[in-house]
Amino acid sequence: VSENTPSKPTARTGSPAAENTRKGAHAAGSAARNNAGAIARSKVIKSDPWMDSYAARADNMRASEIRALFSVASRPDVVSLAGGMPYLEYMPFDELSDLIAKMMRDKGDVAWQYGSAQGDPHLREDVLQIMALEGIKDVQPDDVVISNGSQNALDLITRIMCDPGDVVIAEAPNYVGALGVFQSFQVEVVNAATDENGLIPESFEETIIAANKAGKKVKFLYTVPNFHNPAGVTMSVERRPRILEIARRHHVLVVEDNPYGLLGFDGQTYPALRSMDAENVVYLSSFSKIIAPGMRIAWMVAPTGIRKKLILANEASILCPPNMSQMTITTYLDNFDWKQQISQYRGMYKERCDTMDAALREFLPYCSWNKPKGGFYIWLQIPEGLNSKEMLPRAITAKVAYVAGTGFYLDGRGTHHMRLSFCYPTPENIRIGIERLASVMNNELRT
């Protein structure tokens, strides 16, 4: 697990300090080696002969705590409450494989060929129906750009909008994959406060004003308004227009990352921010949680100028999203009752969330959490005396895995929180996992 440990928060990215550290190292020379940073670096050089060749942006890359947990957490004896993997058991794989075989026979030459950088027009048409469920009704296929998962979309939008040292405002805690992207582009992530109703508008505005006063450029707000990863909260309907109004007034773009919006347990959907503002919002959604992450297909909707840049960035980055995956998704959407399938998944995730909530009440009544109304995650606050990061090896020994809260911040916060995922383990295993977690915590509290 030690390799999961994120590197210490780096100096503010793009800051003169970070720049100097790098220049010093490049200048080589014995002077640079006199400081502690250089000594640490020279230790690493022994094992990596390219250490002095990396771009500054690579200094900010860190191992995802979640990815590094994967191998331990996927041991069959460990109950993993760590990963955000959707449970795919109910997918109609048999029927689907027949249809995919037919698609390959009929259109294999297209499926295995390069495609459009903007994405398959058929798929761009199909996603309109999905977005309409969250109130986005004014979009044409030409407004859509397909990406390799939302992760790639986050990379593209940051690539075209941000220079080193620019500010992105984000909720805290924050989706770990987005933090990884922002860090790799040397963006400064500044957190605005959130509560059980999501991002707090007043805090959002104060954060913009403070950044502007400090002479920094705020490039966008990054928000996961529905069933947040990892916080589990949903931005209230009342706050949505207020956030948009503030963003517009300060000329700050809003990047709305919405992979979980259709996974509300009671079937309720919330109006997408994009449905209220076509000019100032870049909307991202993904097939990963509603169909399958292995396809690596997601989509973006952006105002015209930004959309054009996104297509160019897609071209530069991946040439084109894979035809094979896009055609597999359209085959699925065209032949199955996908709304029914999503509704089945909603029911399943609801049961798992209820089970986790009940087990937490039974075994860990001294912890606190907000029960989410959808999505995959419970954000658990643990007592002051415990440290989620330090406790993790003991939890793994006790055969339960979670993600320590520290992975969702860049500044060392999160030691009194952990993210518990209820999406993948069965209800029985969720209960066993929470019971094991409670015995680890009880032990820690006793010693």
* Residue 21 binding ligand PMP, by CB under 6 A: no
Interface with ligand PMP (CB under 6 A), residue from 144, 161, 168, 175: 175
By CB under 6 A, which span of 12-20, 86-94, 147-155, 192-200 interacts with ligand PMP?
147-155
* Residue 288 binding ligand PMP, by CB under 6 A: yes
Interface with ligand PMP (CB under 6 A), residue from 198, 232, 293, 405: 293
* Residue 326 binding ligand PMP, by CB under 6 A: no
* Residue 177 binding ligand PMP, by CB under 6 A: yes
Q: How far is the CB of 297 from ligand PMP (least distance, A)?
A: 8
By CB under 6 A, which span of 37-45, 127-135, 149-157, 412-420 interacts with ligand PMP?
149-157
**Please, which residue, 21 or 150, has the CB nearer to ligand PMP?**
150
* Residue 264 binding ligand PMP, by CB under 6 A: no
Subset of residues 228 to 247 that bind ligand PMP, contact rule: CB under 6 A: 229
* Residue 205 binding ligand PMP, by CB under 6 A: no
Interface with ligand PMP (CB under 6 A), residue from 186, 280, 286, 323: 286
* Residue 298 binding ligand PMP, by CB under 6 A: yes
Nearest 5°: phi and psi at 315?
-60, -45
* Residue 259 binding ligand PMP, by CB under 6 A: yes
By CB under 6 A, which span of 117-125, 192-200, 243-251, 285-293 interacts with ligand PMP?
285-293
Q: Which long-range contacts (CB under 8 A, 24 or more apart) does 245-249 make?
A: 246/201, 246/204, 246/205, 246/208, 247/204, 247/221, 247/280, 248/277, 248/279, 248/280
* Residue 136 binding ligand PMP, by CB under 6 A: no
**Please, which residue, 338 or 363, has the CB nearer to ligand PMP?**
338
By CB under 6 A, which span of 113-121, 286-294, 337-345, 346-354 interacts with ligand PMP?
286-294
How far is the CA of 299 from the CAs of 119, 150, 258, in angstroms?
9, 7, 10
Q: How far is the CB of 209 from ligand PMP (least distance, A)?
A: 27
- Distance in angstroms (rounded) separating the CA atoms of residues 74 and 67: 11
* Residue 84 binding ligand PMP, by CB under 6 A: yes
* Residue 180 binding ligand PMP, by CB under 6 A: no
Binding residues for ligand PMP, rule: CB under 6 A, are: 84, 149-151, 175, 177, 224, 229, 257, 259, 286, 288, 293, 298
